[in-house]
Structure 1
Amino acid sequence: MINEKKPNTRVIDYVTLVQDNVLAIDGVPADIREDVTKWIRYFSGIQETKVEVGEKHD
């Protein structure tokens, strides 16, 4: 779960537009693009993982 505050209405509106293929992520205003991307990933079920520099993965 995302440990930050809930998205505001503006972010959710853009998430919906992108998910409905009405707008590409490039069309989202720069000031909220990171939040919109984060919530799209969350609603899509994509797990956020952090990779440390120098860590090996198979």
Structure 2
Amino acid sequence: MTVPRLHPTLSCDAHDITVDTGVDVEADCTAGVILVPSLFITDRVQCTTSDH
């Protein structure tokens, strides 16, 4: 069985997901977060935020 894991630059606790990057962005995600795996972005994490 494969154990799910996050990218090495990601960490999470009960209330926060942290992405280690050179950009400091804070997003209100009270409605939830969607994590989408990608075969095309393999060496980094891409973060996109939207109000919709």
- The answer to whether TM tops 0.5 is no
Larger helix proportion of the pair: 1
Q: TM-score, normalised by structure 2?
A: 0.20
Larger radius of gyration: 1
Larger strand proportion of the pair: 2
Q: TM-score, normalised by structure 1?
A: 0.19
